[in-house]
């Protein structure tokens, strides 16, 4: 791909209809590489057309300004003089502000995704860290500029937000928005489940994503969680699940938990389906911890042995049942 200087040269030649076949192909490839490139080209074209009506008596001044502009943005590199020197200078002098400002004010959009059983850590431009769970998607502007630091989440992620008093950090997830100044919290926003926002440290304000001033709003502090149910009502409860951050810490903890709840946690953690074949097994209590990203089969071996059960795997589904049943 051509560098920035070559692109500007090609664009000017395109305005003059003096491109060779090779140059035209190179410019066309650059335009098709990114929609931002074509928008940049369109802005230059507009300025070029406006400059066509300017008074050419000012050629000497614009030429000096053009040289000054070139020195400011890159090392001086000589190019052949053009027949329409004033229009070239006028177009790029305007775009020295307009073109550069365009990319500053309209930054590239970044999207990060995780697949099944994949996790990622993302460091945002402001220094905030995002730990993404599997099957999740994070979207944000590359420079995170603006009155608020806005990111958009689908799935689940843990946020460790860098403090900025003047600019709140806002996470948009489904029909909700969570605003913070600096804290750590977890958001679960999978399409098939209610949105959950759990605060580990600090304070966040959680609300429905709406323009209505009367919309429900909760201020959550450390140890509290908000749940947005299907009727879009907010509910605040204490965080009681010891495995809330199991997906990030790779540790599973069970303290006198019924087997049915253990299985529910395992299904979520490993993204699998586990069927309890005997209802009496479901209500047995289990206690035990698993560290260092334990393998599912090893966990099932321990749980099954403790509950005097066995497990099998059939067509991708795990089955837990009593021995000799």
20-47 pLDDT, tens per residue? Answer: 888 888 888 888 877 777 777 776 776 6
220 shares its domain with 122: yes
What's the CATH code of the domain at 212? 2.60.120.1440
pLDDT at residue 101, as a whole number: 47
251 shares its domain with 222: no
229 shares its domain with 120: yes
208 shares its domain with 306: no
Determine the average pLDDT of the residues in 43-54.
62
255 shares its domain with 317: yes
152 shares its domain with 82: no
The pair of three-digit structure tokens given for residue 144, joined into one six-digit string: 């995170």
Instruction: Say which range, 70-84, 116-130, 138-152, 179-193, has the weakest mean pLDDT.
Output: 70-84
Using the CB atoms, write b or e for 36-72: b if 16+ within 10 Å. Answer: ebeebbebbeebbeebeeeeeeeeeebeebbeebbee
Listed residue (71, 85, 119) closest to 12, CA to CA: 85
Q: With cut-offs at 50, 70 and 90, classify the pLDDT of residue 315.
A: very high
141 shares its domain with 222: yes
215, 238, 261 - which closes a domain? 238
Give the Cα separation of 178 and 289 in Å (integer). Answer: 32
140 shares its domain with 210: yes
76 shares its domain with 116: no
> What SS3 string covers 164-229?
CCCCCEEEEECCEEEEECCCEEEEEECCCCCEEEEEEECEEEEEECCCCCCCCEEEEECCEEEEEC
What's the CATH code of the domain at 291? 3.55.50.30
116 shares its domain with 178: yes
238, 263, 296 - which closes a domain? 238
114 shares its domain with 99: no
pLDDT digits (tens, 9 = 90+) for 95-109: 545 444 444 445 688
Residue 158's alpha-carbon distances to 77, 101, 122, 140, 188, in angstroms, are 48, 33, 10, 16, 9
238, 269, 296 - which closes a domain? 238
Q: What are phi and psi of 47, to 5 degrees?
A: -65, -40
212 shares its domain with 257: no
For residue 252, the enclosing domain spans 246-322
Tally of domains within the chain: 3
pLDDT digits (tens, 9 = 90+) for 244-276: 999 999 999 999 999 999 999 999 999 999 999
Residue 80 pLDDT more than 50?
no
pLDDT at residue 229, as a whole number: 75
């Amino acid at each position: 791909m051509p560098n920035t200087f070559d692109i500007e040269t090609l664009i000017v030649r395109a305005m003059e209809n003096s491109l060779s076949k090779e140059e035209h192909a190179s410019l066309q490839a650059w335009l098709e590489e990114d929609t931002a490139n074509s928008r940049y080209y369109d802005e230059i074209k507009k300025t070029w057309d406006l400059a066509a009506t300017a008074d050419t008596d000012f050629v000497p001044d614009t030429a000096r300004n053009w040289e000054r502009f070139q020195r400011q943005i890159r090392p001086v590199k000589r190019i052949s003089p053009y027949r329409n020197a004033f229009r070239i200078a006028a177009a790029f002098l305007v775009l020295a502000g307009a073109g550069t400002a365009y990319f500053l004010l309209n930054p590239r959009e970044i999207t990060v995704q995780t697949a099944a059983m994949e996790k990622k850590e993302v460091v945002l431009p402001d220094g905030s860290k995002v730990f993404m769970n599997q099957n999740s998607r994070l979207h944000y502007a590359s420079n995170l500029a603006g009155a608020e630091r806005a990111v958009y989440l689908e799935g689940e992620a843990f946020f460790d937000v860098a403090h900025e008093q003047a600019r709140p950090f806002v996470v948009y997830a489904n029909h909700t928005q969570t605003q913070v100044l600096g804290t750590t919290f977890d958001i679960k926003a999978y399409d098939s489940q209610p949105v959950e926002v759990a605060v580990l440290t600090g304070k966040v304000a959680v609300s429905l994503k709406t323009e209505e001033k009367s919309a429900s709003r909760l201020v959550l502090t450390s140890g509290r969680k908000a749940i947005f149910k299907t009727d879009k009502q907010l509910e605040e409860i204490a965080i009681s699940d010891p495995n809330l951050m199991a997906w990030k810490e790779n540790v599973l903890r069970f303290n006198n938990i019924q087997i049915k709840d253990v299985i529910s946690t395992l299904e979520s953690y490993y993204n699998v389906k586990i069927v309890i074949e005997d209802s009496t097994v479901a209500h047995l209590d289990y206690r035990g911890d698993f560290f260092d990203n334990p393998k599912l089969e090893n966990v099932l071996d321990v749980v099954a042995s403790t509950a005097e059960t066995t497990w099998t795997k059939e067509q991708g589904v795990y089955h837990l049942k009593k021995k000799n049943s």
